[in-house]
Structure 1
């Protein structure tokens, strides 16, 4: 990596010793997410006399192109600013360790909450809307002049703050692309995490913004079904083809996370499942654009909130009626 790049980001350097202290030497108890490219740890870092909560992403040593991934993420996070993206605090690059330190995610990664009965359908919808807004900003933001293909969207790179608001992270393999070329194939090896990868990569030998759409569709089904995209020992190891099959046979109810079923408005479920299904279509040309996905998910959330506002007062009236 050119020394000019390192100099450009020198103000973000954090001594490795500080990161080790912050994460209790990368203790297993501090792990909040595992992706194909590294492990994320929570911690508390001493900065300018204050103790701040952080997430430290430790890149896998085995990755051959770690250097490029490392500087790509630092460069991306320095440029990109959105309420649903993590913010960079700094990095450490010493003793064969490459660590990226970002803002705290009080609730860890989405992956940890997929099968939690405490994460309500409304909260899940809000998380989806947040990620959709972040991806829409990446794919097309007029003020920036270029688009970003994320290429690592999965439930462990979606972090959650104390209010369960989504913060997308994991920009190590992201690609900058001029806005008028976002649909053109960028030659690339299949990269990312198993279960989320666009099946068209093998065929076309590359990626487009529609590759992110596929990965996001898998996340939408993870959120709906309360299970991971890839479960090694299950008969249906991969969630995407399973969900597609159920949607087409109109038997999706059978794989929805049971704790959610009674709380969903029919309108929000219909809208949500239509969007999720359209994202995981095999052919890229049949997948929607991020801006449309965002609007549809916002509608699904609107339907759900309307349903809750209608149900709650009605229940109060019934309780009052039966008790008086």
Structure 2
């Protein structure tokens, strides 16, 4: 898969991913997500300090994933910073979060999506295509982080209107059409 040059610096080698997960060993397995298994591991940041990550090894037979973080040796892998509080999905039907926390999470997720649609320093916008509570991760401070870009598409920012028409992808019930007029 040809990565956009702007994102090439984010690519992680398959060898590093295998090292972080003990070759996708059961001792690092933490769950199953859409299209694959998820593992926990540590990789070095640019400054050499370790960072805990969640690594989704996508099913080899899936043809629905358009973007990946590593795509060596027929592996398609997404890597995320591991967020201590997991996904928003597990808190929606509980009393764990106050109304103020829920509002803060909603605003944070909306800001993340706004950032993806209106990049400041790039000529590409990211169309997520699978926005749902399971794809909003919560850090140790309950800050929202939009995640799981496996179904995302890149679109240009130099058009007044953007329409994305494609085959239906993502989770049933979460189909969203983005149309936004560029501000002058």
Establish whether TM, by shorter chain, passes 0.5: yes
Q: 2:134 aligns with which of 146, 151, 156?
A: 156
Question: For the residues of structure 1 that align with 2:103 and 2:68, how far apart are their CA atoms?
Answer: 27
Unmatched runs of 5 consecutive residues or more in structure 1: 75-90, 199-207, 211-288, 291-324
Question: For the residues of structure 1 that align with 2:172 and 2:9, how far apart are their CA atoms?
Answer: 32
Closer/same/farther in 2, CA of residues 107 and 47 from structure 1, 3 Å limit: same
1:65 CA displacement: 4.8
Listed as ranges, the matches of 1:179-218 within 5 Å are 179-181=157-159, 183-198=161-176, 208-210=177-179
Question: For the residues of structure 1 that align with 2:143 and 2:125, how far apart are their CA atoms?
Answer: 23
Q: Report the equivalent of 1:118.
A: 96
Task: Return the structure number with greater strand share.
Answer: 2
* CA RMSD after TM alignment: 3.3
Which protein has the larger Cα radius of gyration, Structure 1 or Structure 2?
A: 1
Q: For residues 26-61 of structure 1, give each alpha carbon's deviation from its aligned partner in whole angstroms, at most 9, with x where no partner exists.
A: 765x12x633x33444x2325387553111122133
Q: Report the equivalent of 1:61.
A: 60
Task: Return the structure number with greater helix share.
Answer: 1
Question: For the residues of structure 2 that align with 1:92 and 1:166, how far apart are their CA atoms?
Answer: 27
Secondary structure in 1 aligned to 2:111?
Answer: helix
1:140 CA displacement: 1.9
Runs of 4+ in 1 over 4 A off after TM superposition: 2-5, 8-11, 48-51
Secondary structure in 2 aligned to 1:132?
Answer: helix
Given that 1:55 and 1:102 are in contact with CA atoms closer than 8 Å, whether structure 2 keeps it comes out as yes
Q: Report the equivalent of 1:93.
A: 72
1:165 CA displacement: 0.6
1:176 matched to 2:157? The reply is no
Closer/same/farther in 2, CA of residues 182 and 138 from structure 1, 3 Å limit: farther
Secondary structure in 2 aligned to 1:58?
Answer: strand
Secondary structure in 1 aligned to 2:168?
Answer: coil
Closer/same/farther in 2, CA of residues 13 and 209 from structure 1, 3 Å limit: same
Listed as ranges, the matches of 1:122-271 within 5 Å are 122-181=100-159, 183-198=161-176, 208-210=177-179
Name whichever of 8-17 and 156-165 sits farther off: 8-17
Matched length: 176
1:141 CA displacement: 3.2
Higher relative contact order, structure no. (Cα contacts within 8 Å, ≥ 6 residues apart): 2
Secondary structure in 2 aligned to 1:18?
Answer: helix
Q: For residues 1-28 of structure 1, give each alpha carbon's deviation from its aligned partner in whole angstroms, at most 9, with x where no partner exists.
A: 35997xx559621425324328643765
Q: Report the equivalent of 1:284.
A: none
Listed as ranges, the matches of 1:299-314 within 5 Å are none
TM-score (ref. length: structure 2): 0.75
TM-score (ref. length: structure 1): 0.46
